[in-house]
Structure 1
Amino acid sequence: MELVDALRRLGGSARSAELARMLDVSEETVRRTIKALDKAGAVQRVHGGAFLAGPQSATSFARRISENQKEKAQIAARVAAHVRDGMALFLDVGSTTAFAAEELRQKSGLVVVTNSIGAAQTLANHNGNRVHFLGGELQSNERGTFGFVTEQQVRRFALDLAILSADGFSAKQGILYHSSAEAQLARVVAECTEQLAVAIAHPKFDETAPHCGPSPRRIDLLFTDQAPGKKLAAALDGWGVRTDIAPGKQG
């Protein structure tokens, strides 16, 4: 089955829009096929996409991509509004970043550096974009590459803007990650970019995780869908982080 093969090539999970482009069919056709394959037990359907069924099917990315989709789409639109044609960007493996990659298809001449299978596939060979997919160890549950090789390769680039996701945002320590490899890569990326942005939906303000990302004072922009609480807002102000809140969720 072509759709199952496409899911394997995309790391085990994907949004319907990604699958439609890869298979050169309509999203409606993809949705119908996913529904049939879900009933047959070949894939597992989530809102907006699917992931391969099996003992390791409940990937981290598949779970995250199905959560807070409306908010992530609003945030992605704000990210795209900040990006200019021809910029050199880094995009990570985050689910909100995946929505941003979709929005960035309207831009042209981008130099995109990414460790995300999905972001690379979304933006490559489109509107004159040049996509550099970082090598390293592939972690299929995150649909991306990590580790020493990944970090060494990203250091070769002079980026205009890096767009990071996170698993939590602490008023004391800044952005937090469940994965030490993801946290380490985020710290390296922060050293290679002129401007550092974080794109997360507001539920992450209440989440915690054990690994620290870049120094919060290094962050320039927070793209989100709802104003942070007083404690985090005060911390952001002290760090010099500007908050860009998507319309419709400002209170």
Structure 2
Amino acid sequence: MKKRAPHTHRELELLDALRRLGGAARNSDLAKTLDVSEETVRRTIKALSKSGAIERVHGGAYLAGTQGDPSFFRRIAQHSDEKRLIGAKVAAMVREGMTLFLDVGSTTAFVAEELRQRSNLTVVTNSIGVAQTLVGVNNNRVHLLGGEMQSDERGSFGHVTHRQARRFAFDLAVLSTDAISARQGFLYLSAAEADLASVVADSAERSLVAVAHFKYGETAPYCGPDPRRVHDMVTDLAPEGELAAAFRDWGIKIHLATGAESRAGKK
């Protein structure tokens, strides 16, 4: 039986970058992370796909061995420029020594990547990708919550997850959302994700939703945390009209990610 050749140094670097980016990324994102050309990334991805270590998709790749619907990997590759700006803005609001919760959202994966520059954090998460990104970095402590795993979200959910989350005193909870309604607040496609977001928001000193503007006015079947339990929202474009009025009523402060103002002027 022919023995498979070991991965090259470049291949190992790319695999590590994929893990730190939440399990999937575009070629351009990998090129920036590794400080190499996109052509180098494409060649490395091609070699890794032949060995079965990763799966290639149009314009990017994701780690192989994922069970179920790879929807998370498609989401993380979408609107990545906006999500990266939001991730950097959220990270700038984090102080060393904080106890944080980070959820399974694709935008949260970018927050986790930015938090690798912070130290002495206690990070609690139900996300495999977030845990992989931050464990063993800058004296940060990482707690991965137990519960039933959902492969499409690459995270744990359920009553065990809720019970364990309630044991922590979060300084800041960083949450994602699937949709925002001016009448119903933060909405989710998954009941389990909506329930956990509500539990964590109730346990946190301060709750923050990190979300790109394309979620404005969208709809989803499950209500998440009471909007009045959310203190901040970090986004790439400020809401307007009825939605802006709703945020004022809820008392949520809007933080625009760096660079968002110039993009807004071009619209």
TM bin, normalised by shorter chain, reads 0.7 to 0.9
With 105-114 and 32-41 compared, the bigger mean Cα shift is at 32-41
Does the CA-based 8 Å contact 1:176-1:183 persist in structure 2? Answer: yes
Aligned partner of 1:23 in structure 2 is none
The letter for the 2-side match of 1:221 is D
Q: Which has the larger radius of gyration?
A: 2
Q: In 2, distance between residues paired with 1:74 and 1:60?
A: 22
For residues 148 and 217 of structure 1, the distance between their equivalents in structure 2, rounded to whole angstroms, comes to: 24
Gaps of at least 5 residues in structure 2 are: none
Matched position secondary structure for 1:206: coil
Q: Equivalent residue for 2:214?
A: 203
Give the secondary-structure state (helix, strand or coil) at the position aligned to 2:138: coil
Q: 1:65 to 1:157 in 2, by over 3 A?
A: same
Distance in 1 (CA, whole Å) between partners of 2:243 and 2:50 is 44
Aligned counterpart in structure 2 of residue 189 of structure 1, from 200, 211, 214 = 200
Q: Report if aligned partners of 2:145, 2:161 keep a CA contact under 8 Å in 1.
A: yes
1:215 equivalent among 223, 226, 236: 226
Partner of 1:45: 57
CA contact (8 A) 1:154 1:189 kept: yes
Which letter does structure 1 place at the counterpart of 2:244? A
Q: In the alignment, is the contact (CA less than 8 A) between 2:25 and 2:77 conserved in 1?
A: no
Letter in 2 for 1:215: D
> 53, 67, 76: which one pairs with 2:87?
76
How far off its partner does 1:109 sit?
0.2
* Cα contact 1:34–1:45 (8 A) shared by 2: no
The gaps in structure 1 that reach 5 residues or longer are: 21-25
Partner of 1:14: 24
* Distance across 1 between alignment mates of 2:66 and 2:112: 28
Q: Deviations over 1:131-165 (max 9, x none)?
A: 00000111111111111111110000000000000
Q: Which one of the candidate residues 154, 157, 164 is aligned to 1:146?
A: 157
TM-score, structure 2 as length reference: 0.81
Aligned pair in 2 of structure 1 residues 90, 55: CA closer, same or farther (>3 Å)? closer
One-letter code of the match for 1:171?
A
Residue equivalent to 1:66: 77
Q: 1:85 aligns with which of 91, 96, 99?
A: 96
**Which residue type is aligned with residue 71 of structure 2?**
S
- Distance, in Å, in 2 between the alignment partners of 1:228 and 1:172 is 14
